[in-house]
A = this chain, B = another copy of it.
Amino acid sequence: MKQGVLLTVAYDGTDFCGWQSQPGLRTVQGELSRAAAAVLKVPQVQVRGVSRTDSGVHAECQRVALDGPDTMPVNAWVPALNPLLPNDIVVRKAEPVEAGFTPRHHAQWKRYRYLCWLHQDPNPLLRHVTWHVGQSMWPWSDGVRAPSMRIGAMEEAGRRLCGTHDFRSFCASDDGRDNTVRTLHAVVVTPHYRGMESMLAIEVTGTAFLKQMVRVIAGTLIAVGGGRMDLATVTQLRDRVLDRHRAGVTAPAKGLTLVHVEMDPLGPSAKRFDRS
């Protein structure tokens, strides 16, 4: 009999060509699939992620399902996989689910965090996890001191994007999906994030996201914060002018981290297999 397992996985996306397996490229899905196949001593294991993160995007809480034999206890997966994975991926948890479980059908909501480093100088220690928003993006008072941030305007822009809207202006122009209506629950702007004077976090929570949607929202909020876009334009792009080119730039992938995916309660069929 098959047993489904739902893994919670963290990774540093810097050296991956994104989540999705691609021949000849180093991807998170590829590494997890390879490690699971080595555990099960089979040629190939299908692993199913909840979010296809882009190249350079990080995760604290990607959810990944795979099927194994029901003779293997679910709590054996974490200690079996981690030694076989490179040190930029860590499996944090394994939970029993039914065989064939597809995480993206069971995600209730997801939260992404986008980090900006608002300073004239880049920060070498944070260069892989932040977007360096320098002088050209922000009205500096004197080129050295902290910029005058229009945090209130950024928060208002975030509020205007919450709710159910057509986000065609706020996704990659090659997204390709016909239905670009999505629901955002919250956009939270936190200056001085984690006590760091020059760090700003934009956390976006919603049910589902279009391609590069959080990165375009981050680029748009930075344009608003820097006084290069007004709030009326944000409302227009949301309601009437569906035009990707008038929204902000697509903020670079490296500033983005998938921080939480809330799953459906896993249900009685999953609990039957609970061995942990």
Chain B residues with CB below 8 A from A60, complex form: 125
In the complex the two chains form, what is the Cα distance from A123 to B12 in whole Å? 9
CB interface residues, A 96-131, toward B, < 8 Å:
121-125, 127, 129
SS class, residues of chain A in contact with chain B: mixed
Residue among A92, A125, A129, A194 with most chain B CB within 10 A: A125
C-beta contact mask, A54-95 vs B, less than 8 Å → 1, else 0? 000010100000000000000000000010000111101000
Contact of A124 among B89, B121, B122, B123 (CB under 8 A): B89
A232 within 8 A of B: no
**Given A194-B194, A194-B195, do A58 and B125 touch, yes or no (CB 8 Å)?**
yes
In the complex the two chains form, what is the Cα distance from A10 to B126 in whole Å? 11
A138 within 8 A of B: no
Distance in Å from the Cβ of A140 to the closest Cβ of chain B? 15
Interface band, chain A: 20 to 34
Distance in Å from the Cβ of A167 to the closest Cβ of chain B? 28
Contacts beyond the supplied A10-B125, A90-B122: 12 A-B pairs with Cβ under 8 Å? A10-B123, A12-B124, A60-B125, A82-B121, A87-B124, A87-B127, A88-B127, A90-B123, A92-B121, A125-B129, A194-B195, A194-B196
Closest chain B residue, CB of each to CB of A144: B93
In the complex the two chains form, what is the Cα distance from A82 to B12 in whole Å? 26
In the complex the two chains form, what is the Cα distance from A257 to B127 in whole Å? 16
A209 within 8 A of B: no
Q: Is the CB of A127 within 8 A of B194?
A: no
In the complex the two chains form, what is the Cα distance from A127 to B58 in whole Å? 13
Closest chain B residue, CB of each to CB of A195: B194
A19 within 8 A of B: no
Chain B residues with CB below 8 A from A92, complex form: 121
A11 within 8 A of B: yes
In the complex, 17 of the A-B residue pairs with CB atoms within 8 angstroms, ordered by the A residue number, are A10-B123, A11-B125, A12-B124, A12-B127, A60-B125, A82-B121, A88-B124, A88-B127, A89-B124, A90-B122, A90-B124, A125-B129, A125-B257, A194-B194, A194-B195, A194-B196, A195-B195
